[in-house]
């Protein structure tokens, strides 16, 4: 009789072990499903609020975009063209809208135009009350705001500092 009791006890222990293991697996699956459900809810709620606030994937601008029409003081003289213009002004200045409209009216298909942002710290070393029309490299370059420089074969061909001269030069280029 003892052998039957031992077998029953062993079978009951095995059944209890199996039941405990399946209970732990069920608990794990329930927890996993709960976490997935919470994550999905957070995703949909956050996307709803972002769109509600007027911010969607279409409205977000990428600040890391590269503009090939911008230039810094250090590379004014080494652009890959034989002839091009560099228009230097601070976009935060009072006359910035006038300068921007001048730049936008320029036909870039005829001659290449670069913008030099005088408001950037990297360009501050060239900012001056009087310009240097005879600069041979970027270390010698001194710019007054606004300045339009025509570079021809790596050296300054024209250096204009007044708005009237700049307008006249840009209109003569677009009229050609």
| pTM of structure | 0.58
For residues 86 and 64, give the distance between their C-alpha atoms in angstroms, rounded to a whole number. 23
Who contacts 2 (Cβ-Cβ below 8 Å, separation ≥6)?
none
Q: pLDDT by residue (tens digit) across 83-139?
A: 998 888 888 877 777 777 777 776 667 778 888 888 888 888 888 888 888 888 888
For residues 49 and 36, give the distance between their C-alpha atoms in angstroms, rounded to a whole number. 20
pLDDT at 53: 47
Q: pLDDT by residue (tens digit) across 19-62?
A: 777 888 889 999 999 999 999 888 888 776 665 445 445 555 54
CA 143 to chain centroid, in Å, comes to 27
pLDDT at 176: 53
pLDDT at 10: 57
Terminal Cα distance for the chain, rounded: 116
Q: Does the pLDDT of residue 1 top 60, yes or no?
A: no
Query: pLDDT band for position 81 (50/70/90)?
Result: confident
Burial of 175 by CB count in 10 Å (0-12 exposed, 13-18 middle, 19+ buried)? exposed
């Amino acid at each position: 009789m003892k052998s039957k009791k031992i077998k029953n006890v062993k079978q009951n222990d095995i059944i209890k072990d199996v039941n405990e293991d399946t209970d732990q697996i069920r608990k794990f699956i329930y927890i996993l499903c709960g976490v997935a459900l919470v994550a999905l809810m957070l995703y949909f709620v956050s996307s709803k609020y972002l769109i509600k606030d007027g911010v969607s994937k279409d409205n977000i601008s990428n600040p890391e975009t590269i503009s090939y029409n911008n230039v810094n003081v250090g590379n004014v003289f080494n652009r890959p063209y034989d002839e091009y213009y560099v228009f230097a002004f601070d976009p935060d200045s009072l006359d910035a809208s006038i300068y921007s409209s001048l730049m936008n009216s320029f036909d870039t298909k005829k001659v290449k135009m670069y913008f030099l942002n005088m408001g950037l710290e990297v360009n501050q070393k060239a900012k001056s009350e009087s310009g240097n029309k005879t600069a041979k490299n970027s270390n010698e370059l001194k710019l007054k705001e606004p300045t339009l420089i025509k570079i021809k074969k790596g050296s300054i061909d024209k250096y204009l500092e007044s708005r009237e001269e700049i307008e006249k030069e840009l209109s003569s280029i677009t009229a050609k």
